[in-house]
Structure 1
Amino acid sequence: MRIDKFLKNSRIIKRRTVAKKACEQGKVLINEKKAKPGDSIQVSDKITINFGNGSKAFEVLKVKDNVAKSGASDLYKILD
């Protein structure tokens, strides 16, 4: 699954266009490498998002195309 779609489906970032911009600006890392919006992610990948005042790290637990809002947090684990 594409990283921008995963960020939207998991509700880490609310909109896919915002996730795409974050990737293009170099704010998203997959396994310590800068991510492009179309990069693929797999289970056990580490995603780091750099915000203005800090960063958050997540581990991918599941990859699903369609997720209900209540099940979105099951897709990842917060590592910080």
Structure 2
Amino acid sequence: MRLDKFLKVSRLIKRRTVAKDVSDQGRVWINEREAKASSTVKVGDQLKVRFGQKSITVLVERIVETTKKDEAALMYTVLLEESHKTE
């Protein structure tokens, strides 16, 4: 599944266009490699997404084309959440 679609379906990011923009800005990594919106996400991959002041690292548990809001969190496991200070 494309990275931008996974971020949207899993609800890590609410809109696919925003997911595409974040990916293309170099703020998403798959298995510690910078990823673009068209990169492929597979079960077992580690994703790191940087949002302004924080970043989140998740492990991809499953891939589904569509999901309900309460089931979206089952697509990944949060491994690490970090806050970043700007100086």
Which residue number in structure 2 is paired with residue 60 of structure 1?
60
TM-score normalised per structure 1: 0.96
Which residue number in structure 2 is paired with residue 69 of structure 1?
69
Which residue number in structure 1 is paired with residue 18 of structure 2?
18
- Provide the rounded CA distance (Å) in 2 between the counterparts of 1:64 and 1:51: 24
2:12 is aligned with 1:5? no
- Amino acid aligned to 1:45: D
- Provide the rounded CA distance (Å) in 2 between the counterparts of 1:51 and 1:6: 16
2:79 is aligned with 1:79? yes
Structure with greater strand share of residues: 2
2:33 is aligned with 1:37? no
Contiguous gaps of at least 5 residues in structure 1 = none
- Amino acid aligned to 2:13: I
- Provide the rounded CA distance (Å) in 2 between the counterparts of 1:72 and 1:46: 17
How far apart are residue 51 of structure 1 and its match? Answer: 2.1
Q: Percent identity?
A: 44
- Amino acid aligned to 1:31: N
Contiguous gaps of at least 5 residues in structure 2 = 81-87
Please list the CA deviations of residues 3-47 of structure 1 after superposition, one character each: whole Å capped at 9, or x if unmatched.
Answer: 100000000000000000000000000001111101101001000
Equivalent pairs counted in the alignment come to 80
How far apart are residue 54 of structure 1 and its match? Answer: 2.7
- Provide the rounded CA distance (Å) in 2 between the counterparts of 1:49 and 1:69: 20
- Amino acid aligned to 1:16: R
